[in-house]
Amino acid sequence: MLDVKDINVYYGAIHAVKDISFHVDEGEVVTLIGANGAGKSTILKTVSGLLRSRTGSVTFLESNIGGVPAHKIISRGLAQVPEGRAVFLQMTVEENLEMGGFTRPGSEIDPGLEKVYDLFPRLKERRRQIAGTLSGGEQQMLAMGRALMSKPRLLMLDEPSMGLAPILVEQIFDIIRTMHQAGTTILLVEQNAQMALSVADRGYVLETGRIVTTGTGADLLEDESVKKAYLGG
């Protein structure tokens, strides 16, 4: 479904992503894990069209999307939940969700809202609340719900657990499992390697802009170097 080949991404002179290649197949949950600054967000932003790579290619559903603007990539079925959520703080929960459906025909908005509210009953309860007054966990649910409104074929999540209490992290990962079971393909970027690898079919470990290890989620959870560096053991 997604095939990233030999990309190199720079911020001016900073070489943030170095010769990265990876793929995501339909129906999979794939995770990119790594420490702060490893290049995880830069990779997602390159795939979603917010940044350009200097080399290589990004192929999504058999089309080369390198250089295609972000708003057009979303229409092709690739949605990103950004790090830090970036919900529209002054708008209500429902208005945020409606914004997420901007690529869909008007007739699909209400059925889309119903689906999101089934997955996140908390958002339904709070549909008229201003998003800026939601808790961090609720804002994460809203950002995920907003992305689902575009009916993505591939959903990219950038650090959904960031800043959340452990119980909320569990809830967010339960929702990721539910979305996966419902058939959504997911590319998940996380610093919380334990949680990410426990939901992922496959994972890639990044260090300073390079992939250093790859394997199934289960294998990486047992890998000694991964345990030592990312799992506190």
Residues of this chain that bind ligand ATP (CB under 6 A): 11, 14, 16, 34, 36-42, 83, 191
CA dihedral 194, 198, 204, 205 (to 10 degrees): 10
Minimum distance from residue 153 beta carbon to ligand ATP (Å):
23
Nearer Cβ to ligand ATP, position 36 or 107?
36
CA dihedral 55, 52, 10, 100 (to 10 degrees): -140
Nearer Cβ to ligand ATP, position 129 or 191?
191
Minimum distance from residue 200 beta carbon to ligand ATP (Å):
16
Phi, psi of 155 (to 5 degrees): -110, 125
Q: How far is 145 from 95, CA to CA, in rounded Å? A: 12
Minimum distance from residue 210 beta carbon to ligand ATP (Å):
11
Minimum distance from residue 208 beta carbon to ligand ATP (Å):
8
Minimum distance from residue 50 beta carbon to ligand ATP (Å):
11
CB atoms within 10 A of CB 203: 28
Q: Which of 25, 78, 16 is nearest to 53 (CA)?
A: 16
Nearer Cβ to ligand ATP, position 14 or 128?
14
Per DSSP, the three-state class of 187 is: strand
Nearer Cβ to ligand ATP, position 34 or 112?
34
Helices 109-119 and 136-148: angle between axes, nearest 10 degrees: 140
Nearer Cβ to ligand ATP, position 116 or 193?
193
The token pair that represents 192 in the structure block: 């919380």
Minimum distance from residue 125 beta carbon to ligand ATP (Å):
31
Nearer Cβ to ligand ATP, position 38 or 229?
38
Q: How far is 123 from 117, CA to CA, in rounded Å? A: 6
Nearer Cβ to ligand ATP, position 207 or 219?
207
Q: How far is 198 from 93, CA to CA, in rounded Å? A: 30
Q: Is residue 193 within 8 Å of 231, Cβ to Cβ? A: yes
Q: How far is 216 from 228, CA to CA, in rounded Å? A: 17
Minimum distance from residue 161 beta carbon to ligand ATP (Å):
11
